[in-house]
Amino acid sequence: MKFRTIGKTGVKVSQLGFGCMRLPVIDGVANNIDVPLATRMLHQAIDSGVNYVDTAYPYHGTGFANPGESEPFVAKALQGGLRNKVQLATKLPSWLITCRADMDKYLNAQLKRLATDHIDFYLVHSINKGFWENLTSHHIFSFLDAALKDGRIGHAGFSFHDDLPTFKTVVDAYNWSFCQIQYNYIDTNYQAGAEGLAYAADQGLGIVVMEPLRGGSLARNLPTSVNKIFEKSGFKRSAVEWALRWLYDDPRISTVLSGMSAIEHVEENLCVAAQAEAQAFSDAEKEIMLQAQAAFKARSKVPCTSCGYCMPCPSGVDIPKNFQMYNSFHMLDESFQDTVRMQYGFQMAPGARASNCIRCGRCEAHCPQQISIMNELAAVKAVFEQ
């Protein structure tokens, strides 16, 4: 296993991280983890050098308002001395915070759930504009300062799901050690994206990547046009290996979280992580990935560049974000489209959804791409809200 440093912390972590959001379950029930299999998978990863283990308060639960089974599973799986071999990461459920005291309440509960006296890497979970405004109004910075000072957490970071300007605002607001962003070869202009990654890295933050395979959509059932590019490349690699190697090639990325749900996933991820090096891609390999990106992009429906000229919408619609998710929906195979629908429901604030469009036409007068925004928003509504 190869290791990288998480930003200015100086801490060495495995370039493959073990994500505990998609552990194997019994009979498809999210909160019924297949404990023997999941334990075997985690132990195999640790025995092979993986030392970054990521979980969160709601993972493997019955909804985001309730504690899930992932944290207790991790606590049991790390018994017998394994806790001291890993850097443990979990997250403050930001959407449940109603006052400053809630922050201590959830962190202290998580320490008990994880059977530990400290969290090595503690993230403020799933930040977006609304959550961020609420958190700052309830003094999130004083909470983080106190938790760092008393040793309950080792390093403070955040995970992110919103637009680039919001990401930069969050990066600049606190002396973060690291951040966690959704990033893969088709999400280079989505949410924080490549520009956000560079911005955070320039500030000295470690970069933890989530969704490297976009929920599995870059691992299986790829569009035919993308499969042909990989098949004709001359390299004998799976779609998973292409996606992971593309990420490992970037030396700014500290660790890549993979949400593995089968022992075969662990084995494949370990094999790729053991071989992949930073800045090792040849010009030919880079060209192949550019072709794959272009093939995905060709499936998008709206030529929106997220320039923001259409904003602000007088009705509150987040036009660029609606189009980003609409394009994402169409780029993927049908088997993954329900996942995008779920993401829309969670990540898109009710007031920012396409259904709030009153067809005033103000946005279309400012669009440099001359998009029929009102009609396209109606199409977004039909996909995600009906």
Whether the Cβ atoms of residue 47 and residue 37 lie closer than 8 Å to each other: no
At residue 161, the pLDDT reads 87
Which residues touch 36 (CB under 8 Å, ≥6 apart)? none
Would you call the peptide bond into 312 cis, given omega within 30 degrees of 0 as the criterion?
Answer: yes
At residue 221, the pLDDT reads 76
- Counting residues of the chain whose pLDDT is more than 70, the rounded percentage is 99
**113, 110, 180, 122: which is closest to 154 by C-alpha?**
122
Confidence of residue 205 (pLDDT cuts 50, 70, 90): very high
Which residues touch 82 (CB under 8 Å, ≥6 apart)? 43, 46
**233, 232, 204, 238: which is closest to 218 by C-alpha?**
238
Q: How far apart are the C-alpha atoms of 324 and 383, rounded to whole Å?
A: 13
Confidence of residue 305 (pLDDT cuts 50, 70, 90): low
Q: How far apart are the C-alpha atoms of 243 and 263, rounded to whole Å?
A: 19
At residue 88, the pLDDT reads 98
**Per-residue pLDDT tens for 73-101?**
999 999 999 999 999 999 999 999 999 99
At residue 209, the pLDDT reads 97
Torsion, CA 305, CA 309, CA 312, CA 318, rounded to 10? -10
Q: Can you tell me which residue has the tokens 């801490």?
A: 11
Joined tokens for residue 56:
């969160």
The yes-or-no verdict on residue 104 having pLDDT over 80 is: yes
Confidence of residue 360 (pLDDT cuts 50, 70, 90): very high
The yes-or-no verdict on residue 27 having pLDDT over 70 is: yes
Joined tokens for residue 126:
């799933």
Domain 3-289 has CATH 1.10.2020.10: no
**325, 334, 312, 332: which is closest to 381 by C-alpha?**
325
Q: How far apart are the C-alpha atoms of 53 and 346, rounded to whole Å?
A: 24
Supply φ then ψ for residue 283, to 5 degrees: -60, -35
- Counting residues of the chain whose pLDDT is more than 90, the rounded percentage is 78
Q: How far apart are the C-alpha atoms of 278 and 369, rounded to whole Å?
A: 37
Confidence of residue 231 (pLDDT cuts 50, 70, 90): very high
**Per-residue pLDDT tens for 149-180?**
999 999 999 999 888 999 999 999 999 999 99
Q: How far apart are the C-alpha atoms of 256 and 285, rounded to whole Å?
A: 20
At residue 122, the pLDDT reads 98
pTM assigned to the model: 0.84
Across residues 321-339, what is the average pLDDT? Answer: 83
CA distances from 350 to 98, 156, 164, 318, 343 (A): 19, 29, 20, 10, 13
Joined tokens for residue 275:
């071989």
